[in-house]
Amino acid sequence: MAKILIVYYSRKGENYWNGSLKNISKGNTERVAEFIQNAVGGDLFEVETVKPYSDSYMTCIEEAKQELREKARPEIKGFPENFEEYDTIFVGYPNWWGTMPMCMFTLLEKFDLTGKTIIPFCTNEGSGMGSSERDLKALCKGAEVKAGLSVHGAEAENSENKAAAWAKKSI
């Protein structure tokens, strides 16, 4: 039986939503992470940056673009305990500028992922997985990176069946 970890970064508050901005009380990626946990079990770990992104969505995406250009590794508040004990790791994030937020690189670069199974999922407003699967394969040397799940952000709260079926098939 695989020991499962679900790590994710998610944004609450002002988000892009079907062509406009909307405040949401729970991030889209967090919702999907919880659906995955309900379906296959495992432990949840939310990645949080030390320096928060702007509350303004438009400013936040500019901050994210600058981090990507600089290949920044933003400091995060903590790392999962006993990471080495997990063999299957779901990695969730919003698709920002075609890939994961740079804080996810900060997290994953800290660990030896050899022999682990990495299963990505992302939320987005139409850009799908972008280059994140390719980026994960380059980042997670020695790991098996499986095909990811892309969830339209505005549909995240209604994606439980889709996320559950995909998660069960992926492990």
pLDDT for 2:
80
Domain that holds residue 37: 4-170
Taking only the tens place, the pLDDT of each residue in 92-118 is: 999 999 999 999 999 999 999 999 999
Token code pair at residue 24: 């949401």
Taking only the tens place, the pLDDT of each residue in 119-147 is: 999 999 989 999 999 999 999 999 999 99
Question: Could you tell me where the beta strands, DSSP code E, fall in 25-70?
Answer: 43-46
> How far is residue 28 CA from its own chain's centroid?
10
CATH number at residue 38: 3.40.50.360
> Coil, strand, or helix at residue 17?
strand
Cβ within 8 Å of residue 29, ≥6 positions away: 8, 9, 10, 11, 92, 93, 94, 121, 122, 123, 156
Please count the structural domains in the chain: 1
Query: Which amino acid is it at 107?
Result: L
Closest CA to 157 of 37, 32, 33, 39: 32
- The rounded mean pLDDT for the chain is 96
